[in-house]
Structure formats: C-alpha cells, structure tokens
Amino acid sequence: MSKLRFRVVETAFKKKAVEVPVPAERPSEYFGKYVFNKEKMFKYLPSKVYNTLIDAIDNGAPLDRTIADEVASGMKKWATEMGVTHYTHWFSPLTEGTAEKHDAFVEHDGKGGMMEEFSGKLLVQQEPDASSFPNGGIRNTFEARGYSAWDPSSPAFIIDDTLCIPTVFIAYTGEALDYKAPLLKALRAVDKAATAVCHYFNPDVKKVVAFLGWEQEYFLIDEGLYAARPDLLLTGRTLMGHDSAKNQQLEDHYFGAIPTRVAAFMKDLEIESLKLGIPVKTRHNEVAPNQFELAPIYEECNLANDHNLLIMSVMRKVSRRHGFRVLLHEKPFKGVNGSGKHNNWSLGTDTGILLMGPGKTPEENLRFVTFVVNTLMAVYKHNGLLKAAISSATNAHRLGANEAPPAIISSFLGKQLTQVLGHIESSTIDDLISLSGKQGMKLDIPQIPELLIDNTDRNRTSPFAFTGNRFEFRAVGSQANCASAMIALNAALADQLTTFKKDVDALIEKGEPKISAILDVVRGYIKICKPIHFDGNGYSEEWKIEAAKRGLDCETSVPVIFDNYLKPESIAMFEATGVLSKKELHARNEVKWETYTKKIQIEARVLGDLAMNHIIPVATRYQTNLIDNVYKMQSLFPVDKATELSSKNLELIEEISVRTAFIKEHVDSMIEARKVANKIECEREKAIAYHDNIAPALEEIRYHIDKLELIVDNQMWTLPKYRELLFIR
Ligand code: ADP
Ligand code: MG
C-alpha cells in the first residue's frame, strides 16, 4: 500500500507559517529597488542620454542606436553595484509564459583574461536561437532565426543575479513571434486613433494611454500534496477527484481571515513585488477554498502586462519558499470555482482625463459617451474575436460553467449608463442641442453622478462590464497572457475610432456643426451595437437563445472559436491598424491549434496512466478483499445466511468490475482515437478531433474514477483527495 498520501497529509498539517523578513525601510522606500527606473536612469546616465531615453519612453520617440552604448553602460554599472553578474533578454513567446536565456557580462579582454562587458548592441538585440519556440511555420529552423529587441518602454529589472531586459521577439523576416510586439502596435494604434478623436473635444491632447489593472486569482496547494498528484504536476489541474463533502457551499472562505501560512506567503510576495516595482495593493480570499486574489494599482497597459507576467513567475518562486505550489490553471478542481484574471481596462489622456469616465459638464459627458459607445461598437463587431482572444484549452473549463462569464461576449452597462444612452437614442438632435442665447450651445446629456456609478450593480455574469470609469474584461483566464485580450481589444477600438472619425468628418464636411455631427454618429452607433448590451443573467439558458437571435458568437468549441482570427473582418481590422498581418494571424492560429491539441493530448495520457497505474490496481485490490470476505462468510455461515450477509459486498464487487471495465475500455478507445487524430495533418482539424473525440472521453472516464473513489477503502486510495488538497494550508 502506498503511504505517500498519508505521509504528505501528515506533514502538511504540521507545517507552520514561514517567518518573512520585513525590510527595515518603508514600502515606499524599497519600491522599485530592483528596477532601472527613471530615478536610476537619472543617476546612472549622462543627462543628454537620459533626456533622449525619457523622450523615447514617454513619447515613443525613435531611439537613436548611438545612445544604446551609453544606456547599456549605465545599466551595467547599476546592475553590478547590485551584485548582478548576468543579463538576459526577457520575452513572452506564444507559449504563454516568459522566456529568458542568461549570458554573463564577461568577455575576453584580448590579453588572455576576462572583463565585464555589456555593450549597447547586446542591450538592443539578442539572438536567443530559440528555434523550438512555437512560430506556426513562420520561422523554419533551417532558415531565419528569431531575435529579441529591447522595449525601452518597460524598464529593466533584476531577478537574483540577473539583469532582465524586456524585449520583443521577432523573426528576421519581421513577423512577431510573441505577444509584446503586437501589443505595442495595438497600443500605438489606439493612441493615434483616440488622440485624433480627443481633438474634437480638446486640441491639446497629445497622447492617449491604455491602462490595465489586472486582478489575478490563484490557488495555493501544499507542496507535498501537490507532489502526490501527478495530474496536478503534469497538467496543472486535477483530472479526477470526487467533490469534497464540504467545499464552497458555506462561502465561509470568501473574504474570510487569511490563513497564517498563506498570509506569510502573501506578505513575502508583496515585498518581492514592490521591490520589482509592481504596485500590488489588494489581497484577499476568493470564493473557493484555498483560492486567493491579488491586484495591483492599474498601470500603462504594456507595463501592467509585463508586471503580470513577472508576478506569475515570482508567485511560483515565492510559493515554494512557503511549502506551497501556486496553481494558475483556470480550473484546477471540478465542481469548485475556477480562476480568472479580470482585466480592468480604460483609456486616459496625457492631460489627465480618464476617457471611460463621466465628466462634470455636458461636453465632458459627450466625450465620455463617445468613447463608451465606440468601445461597445468595437466589442459588438468583434465579439467573436474577443472570445477567441481569451479562449484556450484550459479556460474552456471555466467559461460557460456557472461561476464565470458565459462563452458569449456581451457588455453590462448598468442602469445609469443605459438610461443615458437611451436618452440620446430617443431624442432628436434638436432636443439634445439647444441654442441658448449668449451662452451659445446647450447640450442635454444627463449627468451621471460619479458616486452612484461606483455602486452600479456589479453583474458578475457579464464578460465585459462597465464599472464606473473603465470596462472590466472578466473572461480572461488566470494563466493567460493578458496581452492576447489587450491586443484584440485595443486594436478593435483603434479601428472603430478611425471609422468614427471618418463618419463625423464626413458630416462636418457637409456643413453640420461638430457637436451635432458627433451626436448624430453616436446615436446611429447606439442603435447598431444594441445587441452587445445585456444586463441580465448571463448564466441563464434564455440568454443563450437570445444571444444567438442577436447574432452574437455562441460557438463553444475552442478550436472553432479560433477561426474568428481569420475572418475577413478580423484580418481587415488587424491589417488596417498595422497590428498583425494576415501571415502572422495564420501562423499564430497554427500555434493556437497546436497548443490546444497538445494540452488535451497530455491530459489524455496522464489520465490513462493514472487510471491504469493507480485507480484500477487499487480498486481491484479492494475488490479482492471484498471477495475474500465473501468467501470467508461462506465458511462461517450456512449458504443462505452467508449470501444475505454478503449482499452489499457482492454489489460493491460488481460495481467495481463494471466501473473498472468501463475505465479500461475507454482508456483503450481514447488511445485509439488519439492515434487517429495524430495522423491528421491539418492543425485545425487535428485540434477539432481532439476537442470532439478525446476531451469528452476524459470526462466520461473521470466520472467512473470519481465513483470508485467514493467506495474504495480510504486507506488504499493513493491520490490526495479534494478535501485534503483544498482544506489543508
Ligand atoms: P473589484 O474586485 O471590485 O472589481 P478591485 O479593486 O479588486 O475591484 O480591482 C480593481 C482593479 O481595477 C484594480 O487593479 C484597479 O487598479 C483597477 N482600476 C481601477 N480604475 C481603473 C481604470 N480607470 N482603468 C484600469 N484599471 C482600473
Ligand atoms: Mg473585478
């Protein structure tokens, strides 16, 4: 009998919170300690270089390669003072996660010795020769290699002994092989388009920035228990496990007192994050047992995204110091809430205005309405694409389950905003604009009190909810790279704002005054994008029917959802905004399909192995005990009596036979189905085969395993159970 499960449970129970050394300085003092931020740039760079670099960072001014050497030398000086010996270009390939290849600062000095060296060339560009990263056929291993190039808008930082330089990762032929390159392009596109629209209201606006505030949900599981679950170890989720008798019914975990071992982990994580310049602010328990959430103050989107990627890897590291493993999978446990990553998103100007927030005057509110309505238009036109942007094999377990947004993109606006839009839609332009003597024009756009809006009904079933001065894209998966959603959203809005400007300008050219032209177009849009607006219960069956009637994308098969990237309107939008080319979109979809297939394939293998090596042997051994008992009954009692006394055991014996036979047959047929699917050449078709034929088998097999878990002797069961995984901390 395997003792591992009991040993790890016992050890986990005895663990105490780890002492976390708290820095002597205040958080405001150690914030950004490991970041080459503006303060350090100022200190370590000549003033001319500093000014050029800041201009590049703040205004996207092109960076002269000649200053790279000086920046590199300043960076190296700071880094070596901090004890750093290596550097790496830090990038996010299409695998979701980050990649790095460390090189030491050392170079030959030409005199037989070594010297510390970090030139501008090494700062600006590196060839990671990462030929095994997914590229969807763009980068054939035998031809062009990929290279990484410095992104000065995200500051370099130190992890242990390594200076990490945020970079984009592109093929020599120019195509993006990562998330950052298209994200930067999408942010530039939305800046340009939104700035042009802002000029209707304020000609002084020079720049519009997209903001992102992510809320990261995660589970913490004791490390020993984790190690005793090969499925968690290899796939990030439990492929089997019966519901614990108690899980989240009482909602006693949500916002409850944070357990001490977890509190120590959080404290440690926060200190590390602050030192890395990540402005973490909020922490609390989430709905499911052992589920937690972390959120920083929102930042510029590209930086916020890097910070999210960084914090996910810091979480993994810090959790181990506390004897935990962090689970970022969207659905580690069946029947228990999964984890998402709400993306709070808005636009703001360099003049300090939040464009998704209501203002104080009717004119400011017209600007607010303009941006909100254009956002709704973008989300409406590209609702299928936005769903594709958050879809993955893992997030599929969460979406559409009654705890996360449904697999249909719609937008919640709340009562107040709905009223304002309704008012604009139903009034005539003359009603909305009255000419009132000396004061000139008067606009009748109802005021939205800011205080009220903060309290708008928080509809948790909405995937894209308006929440006061921002939209909250809630369908993003907990382990996803937020950039995927942010690329699609910002690009779609950029394209939409460009259309809006054209529409308004056309009316102005015809002689219509600016304000009435804007109102005219906005009114038309309010009517067109109505189908995306839904304030009701996204979990209801009626909504699915209604959404289909409205023409919203209701597809639930992830590989098919990915088709949205290749629809003519998506390609047109990405090409018009210069964010992704048709070739890149095709290549990236190949990667998406391939990744989907691999994830399901690994799960199927792991489940097959566990079923054959853990479940069936244990169930059979228990069954043998029962059979033994039945025989012994017969030697003690007369036949009739023995049969009567053994009736329950006989039922169990039969049940075990039936279930193990089902499991064995289905594991075999799943292997056969894989063999068939693996022969399919086309990545899309293969992914569809995995979705249609293999993913459902995982559920069927699991059902019987979970039933066996309920009847087999607890002492014999080798895998830690849900109650142990979810309640020990
Ligand atoms: P809730 O859980 O109620 O949705 P939280 O306070 O946990 O809210 O998280 C809200 C997140 O939204 C934080 O990261 C916050 O910084 C961010 N946020 C607030 N205002 C904006 C905004 N205008 N644009 C983008 N993000 C924002
Ligand atoms: Mg939220």
| pLDDT tens digits along 228-249 | 999 999 999 999 999 887 766 6
Q: Is 556 in the same domain as 651?
A: no
- Give tens-digit pLDDT for 298-353: 999 999 999 999 999 999 999 999 999 999 999 999 988 899 999 999 999 999 99
Measure 344 CA to ligand 1 centroid, in angstroms: 6
Measured from the Cα of 282, ligand 1's closest atom is: 7
**Ligand 1 atom 8: residue of nearest CA:** 215
Of residues 97 and 194, the one with the higher pLDDT is 194
| Gap from CA of 215 to ligand 2 centroid (Å) | 7
| Closest residue to atom 14 of ligand 1, CA basis | 213
Q: Which ligand is nearest to the CA of 278?
A: 1
- In a domain? residue 23: no
Distance between Cα 482 and ligand 2 center (Å): 15
Tell me: do 365 and 454 sit in the same domain.
Answer: yes
251-296 pLDDT, tens digit each: 666 656 678 899 999 999 999 999 999 999 988 887 788 999 999 9
Range scoring the smallest mean pLDDT among 78-87, 92-101, 397-406, 539-548:
397-406
- Do 497 and 630 lie in a common domain? no
The pLDDT confidence band at residue 678, using thresholds 50, 70 and 90, is very high
Residue 474 forms part of a structural domain: yes
Domain count within the chain = 3
Per-chain mean pLDDT for the chain: 91
Handedness of CA 635, 640, 644, 647 (dihedral sign): positive
Q: Which of 554, 580, 606 is the last residue of a domain?
A: 580
pLDDT tens digits for 610-644?
A: 999 999 999 999 999 999 999 999 999 999 999 99
114 φ/ψ sector (left φ>0, alpha ψ -120 to 50, else beta): beta
Query: What mean pLDDT comes out for the span 8-15?
Result: 90
Range picked from 105-119, 392-406, 415-429, 446-460 for highest mean pLDDT: 415-429
Domain that holds residue 349: 187-580
pLDDT above 90: residue 119: no
Element (DSSP H or E) covering residue 366 = helix 362-381
Q: Is residue 442 part of a domain?
A: yes
Q: Whose CA is nearest to atom 17 of ligand 1?
A: 213
Does residue 470 line the site of ligand 1, with CB under 6 A?
A: yes
Mutate to test the pocket of ligand 1, among 209, 214, 215, 476 (most ligand atoms within 8 A of CB): 215
Q: What is the number of other CB atoms lying within 10 angstroms of the CB of residue 551?
A: 10
Mean pLDDT in residue range 70-76: 93
pLDDT at position 105, please? Answer: 83
Tell me, in angstroms, the distance from the centre of ligand 1 to residue 453's CA.
14
Report, as an integer, the average pLDDT of 383-387.
98
| Exposure letters 147-159 (e unless 16+ CB within 10 A, then b) | bbbbbbbbbbbbb
Residue 398 CB contacts under 8 Å (≥ 6 apart), including other chains:
330, 331, 338, 339, 340, 404, 477
Spatial separation of the C-alpha atoms in residues 378 and 376, rounded to whole Å: 5
Cβ of residue 452 lying under 6 Å from some atom of ligand 1: no
Residue 590 lies in a domain: no
Q: Indicate whether 680 and 617 sit together in one domain.
A: yes
In a domain, 278, yes or no: yes
Whole-number pLDDT of residue 58: 84
Q: Could you tell me the two tokens for 246?
A: 């108690």
Number of residues that make up the chain: 729
CATH number of the CATH domain containing 634: 1.20.120.1560
115 shares its domain with 174: yes
Q: How far is CA 132 from CA 93, 272, 684, in A?
A: 11, 31, 20
Q: Is 365 in the pocket of ligand 1 (CB under 6 A)?
A: no
Does ligand 1 come within 6 angstroms of the Cβ of 40?
Answer: no
User: Domain check: are 546 and 601 in the same one?
Assistant: no
Please indicate, yes or no, whether residues 571 and 486 belong to a single structural domain of this protein: yes
Instruction: Note the pLDDT of residue 250.
Output: 60
Q: What are phi and psi of 407, to 5 degrees?
A: -85, 35
673 in any annotated domain: yes
Ion ligand 2 neighbours (CB, 5 A) are: 342
Query: Does the residue 249 lie in any domain?
Result: yes
In this structure, the answer to whether residues 576 and 602 fall within a common structural domain is no
On whether both 331 and 214 belong to a single domain, the answer is yes
Same domain, 326 and 473: yes
How far is ligand 1, taken at its centre, from the CA of residue 187, in Å?
19
* Both tokens assigned to 242: 């019966």
Number of Cβ within 10 Å of residue 6's Cβ equals 17
H or E element that contains 263 = helix 260-275
Distance 454 CA to ligand 1 centre (A): 11
Alpha carbon distance 344, 569 (integer Å): 26
Phi, psi of 193 (to 5 degrees): -65, -40
Cα 565 to ligand 1 centroid, rounded to whole Å: 28
User: What's this model's pTM, rounded to 2 decimal places?
Assistant: 0.94
Residue 439 has pLDDT above 60, yes or no: no
Tokens of 720: 């830690």
- Residue ending a domain, among 580, 608, 623, is 580
Q: Which residues pair with 99 in a beta bridge?
A: 91
Q: Give residues with Cβ within 8 angstroms of 598, minimum separation 6.
A: none
> Does any ligand 1 atom lie closer than 6 A to the CB of residue 213?
yes
Q: What is the share, in percent, of the chain residues with pLDDT greater than 90?
A: 74
154, 178, 202: which is the final residue of a domain? 178
The mean-pLDDT minimum among 72-76, 139-143, 541-545 falls in 139-143
Asked whether residue 381 falls in the same domain as residue 520, the answer is yes
CATH classification of the domain holding 312: 3.30.590.10
Residue 555 has pLDDT above 90, yes or no: yes
DSSP 555-586: ---HHHHGGGGGSHHHHHHHHHTTS--HHHHH
Distance CA 189, CA 426 (A): 33
Say which CATH number the domain at 81 has: 3.10.20.70
pLDDT at 539: 85
Same domain for 138 and 222, yes or no, is no
Q: Report whether 660 contacts 654 (CB < 8 A).
A: no
Rounded CA separation 729/713 (Å): 25
Q: CA-CA distance, 484 to 476, in Å (whole number)?
A: 9
Task: Read off the pLDDT of each residue in 526-544 and give the average, rounded to a whole number.
Answer: 93
428 assigned to some structural domain: yes
Q: What is the percent of the chain where pLDDT is above 70?
A: 93
- Nearest ligand 1 atom to alpha carbon 342: 4
Helix axis angle, 647-678 to 582-610, nearest 10°: 150
Please report where in the chains the tokens 């590989």 appear, as a residue.
559
Q: How far is the CA of 480 from the centre of ligand 2 (A)?
A: 16
Out of 301, 311, 344, 346, give the residue to mutate to test ligand 1, the one with the largest number of ligand atoms within 8 Å of its CB.
Answer: 344
